[in-house]
Amino acid sequence: MASRCLYQATASELAALISAGGLLQELRRSYGELIGGDLNPLEVESWRNSIPTVVDLLLEEGLGDVQVLVEVKTPISDVRIDMVLVGSYPDNGQMSLVVVENKQWQWATPGPSPELVYLSRSPNPRPHSHPIRQVWDYRQVLIDYISLVRRSAKVHCIVNMHNAISENLAAIRPATIGLEYDSSLVRMFCSDHRDHFKRTLRAVLSPKKASDYAQEFLEAPVRPTESLMTVVNESVCRRSVFPLLDEQRDAYEYVRAAVNASKQGAPKEVVLIVGGPGTGKSVIAVELLGTLNRQGVHAVHATGSKSFTLTLRDNVEKVNRRAARSFSYFNSYIHATPHNIDVLICDEAHRIRETSDRRRNTYDGDHDRRQGRPQVQELIEAAAVPVFLLDEHQLVRRGEVGSVQLIHDAAASMGIKVQQIDLRHQFRCGGCPEYVTWVEQLLGLGWEDGPQPWRPLETFELYVARTPAIMEEFLRAKQAEGDSARMAAGFCWPWTDPRSNGTLVEDVQIGDWHRPWNSRAEREKNGIPPSSLWATHPAGFGQIGCIYTAQGFEYDYAGVIFGDDLTWTGQDWQTNRRANKDTEVQGAPRFGELVRNTYRVLATRGMSGAVLHSTDPSTNRLFAQLGVPVL
């Protein structure tokens, strides 16, 4: 895997293209080929207005042969850096990279912390990362994930505020707001700083070897990102591990600011972080947990998933038993003293139940008999700063009620403000939101277009397997190469308890291929992991996971078996309650939506690739007809 950009040229070549009016056409064409989908008009406007302001300065300083990389994809996500200038460092000829963040802002005001700013004077404005913090994060992700950059390059950063005069940004100057940064590596220039901007470019860039260095940079291998569970103990117990980019950083810094404000007596507020699979919700959660607790803040992590919570505990307990106690469940706060916790981080908040009383979370057909205090209110009251992270399309079982509206309504009924931050960028599935969109269109979730042709991606592999045996063989080969892989299926087969000696019954039967579900046992026996550790234990491969053991986890390659509870008729999807063996879902009024959500979750667990197979021949043909390569 290597880096890529939408356009590469020397500054002189780019200037000629701009003069001829061809820049936007080239960028649109490249965007369509490499990314696809709708292009945001604001992005096009930024290309039109911002890129020439940098190119002109390069030419004025005699740097016309410096290489300009436009819209560079960051190594671990679909976040794109506006521009990377490539040349050699004047003093020693070393590779020199200048990361440029273009802003069309005309003014900004300080946010709730030095790392955040506001661009609106509305009553509840959305916080944005300070552009110096933003461009520094880009620098760090290049250094952390591209060994060539870390080993051989000098990396500087520039924030190009070409529409603003310095007077209008005086309020967010680092010295004014107390933002700590390395002024020798990061600079911010306004429209009245053009001469200083040019001198800085000349000081850090020479055109010598620019073309060679640009190719080396683009072709350099990118280190794959590690899964959350691999390094969660490091993140929670020792230091920050995961890079946070754009809205991830906004959310992280806003929660920290809310904690400080709470300690100073500010009115209580709820922080709601919303994003699809792979947008980094759980990464934000564990980074916040570790950072806050290291700073002496009493922070606790909670979920509604036994498997997810127990796996987090198990990994952290290896390093620090006390820290492992920071992981809890949503129903742990039924009798909590209000504000007894500084921060309650509710991860996977789509799994919130109506109440915490299990006896009252029961149903009779379409009529429920739930009573008692709402669980969401308990969670809001338990902490000075309650934080919720959720994805509404991950509701997969009857009784789960977590939604954006639920949290807004609960907070409003309690007279509490909500700050919502939406996550847009993809950090799983090879950093390809195109794959997640394809899955959602395939399943008819939130899109009107229906199943769409598959367009191969550079950083994510997708296949359809004619048989589950072929799928398993492919995934086993990936495991042999050092990747992690798991097979999961819709809940369409009975699930037998382990035998007395711990061995498993091969309940999942497709033709002459038989495999067991993951163990239901609470502890490891005869080398077979318990259900809570199926997704991460080395011996989990060969057992079939379900939504309850896969949700919240990630692995390099995901095998997904579609059962007969969701089949393609040739025109649309058909659901079959009788084919589904999950008593939590069978009688749900929204059965079809829950089943679709289940397969969406299972299909988006892979970081590098996925393999699909359906027990229904017409559904398997659909995958192939859409252009998914057949194994």
Q: How many helices (H) and strands (E) in the chain?
A: 20, 26
* The pLDDT value given to residue 362: 47
Mean pLDDT of 426-442: 84
Q: Does 2 score more than 60 pLDDT?
A: no
Query: Amino acid identity of 475?
Result: L
SS in 3 state form for 463-519? EECCCHHHHHHHHHHHHHCCCCEEEEECCCCCCCCCCCCCCCCCCEEECCEEECECC
Yes or no: domain 228-422 corresponds to CATH 3.40.50.300 = yes
Classify burial at 580, counting beta carbons within 10 Å of its beta carbon; exposed 0-12, middle 13-18, buried 19 or more: buried
Q: Does 41 score more than 70 pLDDT?
A: yes
* The pLDDT value given to residue 178: 93
Q: What are the residue boundaries of the structural domains of the chain, listed by start?
A: 5-219, 228-422, 429-625
Mean pLDDT of 107-111: 94
* The pLDDT value given to residue 365: 41
* The pLDDT value given to residue 364: 40
Mean pLDDT of 10-38: 91
Give the pTM: 0.85
Give the residue carrying structure tokens 């969660």.
Answer: 232
Question: Using one digit for the tens of pLDDT, what is the confidence trace for 552-563?
Answer: 889 999 999 999
Mean pLDDT of 482-502: 92
Which has the higher per-residue pLDDT, 232 or 95? 95
Residue 13: helix, strand or coil by DSSP? helix
Q: Does 595 score more than 60 pLDDT?
A: yes
Which has the higher per-residue pLDDT, 78 or 208? 208
Q: What percent of the chain has pLDDT over 70?
A: 96
* The pLDDT value given to residue 72: 95
C-alpha distances in angstroms, 518 versus 496, 532, 535, 546? 10, 9, 9, 8
**Closest among 422, 341, 417 to 379, alpha carbons compared:** 341
Confidence of residue 93 (pLDDT cuts 50, 70, 90): very high
Which of 104-118, 235-249, 285-299 bottoms out in mean pLDDT, i.e. has the lowest?
235-249
Mean pLDDT of 347-353: 92
Which of 21-25, 47-51, 426-430 bottoms out in mean pLDDT, i.e. has the lowest?
426-430
C-alpha 389/C-alpha 41 separation (Å) is 29
* The pLDDT value given to residue 344: 96
Mean pLDDT of 245-258: 94
Please tell me what DSSP assigns to residue 206.
B
* The pLDDT value given to residue 50: 96
Which of 283-297, 320-334, 366-380, 613-627 bottoms out in mean pLDDT, i.e. has the lowest?
366-380
C-alpha 286/C-alpha 144 separation (Å) is 19
CA angle 378, 383, 389 (to 5 degrees): 80
* The pLDDT value given to residue 359: 52
Mean pLDDT of 381-385: 95
* The pLDDT value given to residue 322: 84
Confidence of residue 588 (pLDDT cuts 50, 70, 90): confident
Residue 601: helix, strand or coil by DSSP? helix
* β-bridge mates for residue 343, sequence order: 299, 385
**Per-residue burial over 444-483, b = 16 or more CB atoms within 10 Å of its CB, e = otherwise:** beeeeeebeebeebebbbbbbbeebebbbebbeebbeeeb
Question: Using one digit for the tens of pLDDT, what is the confidence trace for 197-251?
Answer: 999 999 999 999 999 999 999 999 888 776 677 778 788 877 777 888 999 999 9
Q: Does 372 score more than 90 pLDDT?
A: no
On whether the CB atoms of residues 167 and 107 are closer than 8 A, the answer is no
Which of 185-194, 449-458, 463-472, 503-512 bottoms out in mean pLDDT, i.e. has the lowest?
449-458
Which has the higher per-residue pLDDT, 312 or 284? 284
Mean pLDDT of 106-118: 94
Mean pLDDT of 346-370: 67
**What mean pLDDT is reported for the chain?**
91
Q: Does 3 score more than 80 pLDDT?
A: no
